[in-house]
Amino acid sequence: MYFTKENLATNARMQGHWKELWAQRNIFNEQHNAMIAANQANMTAEMLTCNAVGGFAKEFWKEIDNQIIELNTEEIGIEIVNDLMGVQTVLPVGKTLKMYNVSGDINDEVVMSMDGQVPHGFDHTEYDSDGDPIPMFAAGLRC
């Protein structure tokens, strides 16, 4: 998933993901600052200099976001991804099943008879719900 001004302007769920992403970035910076404050007495002058910034600045995150968008537009075959982006379904994080409604069809049973007397089938529409599992990938994650 990548965020552009156009995506954020037209998709409310994407805006929610954007807000959550920035919340996580801010949490990271606050935890980094707390770690530095807790361990400052044990750090060398070089360590303190390296960590003087206090987490990642907004410009750092902006540069990362811009690089992602730039790489997205340079990839070979991106036209396929762009076609699929129009039909994507954005789901909340943690949802493991995409549910949808289904309806039945008419009675299409074929019966062969020598005398023309065939059992009468009644057409009725059945309604149900079904779902597709959403695959989740994880690599290098340590909890």
Each residue's pLDDT tens digit, 14-23:
899 999 999 9
- How many other C-beta atoms are found inside a 10 Å radius of the C-beta of residue 59? 8
At 33-86, the pLDDT tens digits run 898 889 989 999 998 888 877 778 888 888 988 888 888 777 677 778 778 878
pLDDT confidence of residue 68 = 83
- The first and second tokens of residue 120, run together, are 């009468």
Coil vs helix vs strand at 22? helix
Q: Taking all residues of the chain, what is their mean pLDDT, rounded to a whole number?
A: 81
Answer yes or no: is pLDDT of 95 > 80: no
Q: Is 3:25 a contact under the CB 8 Å cutoff?
A: no
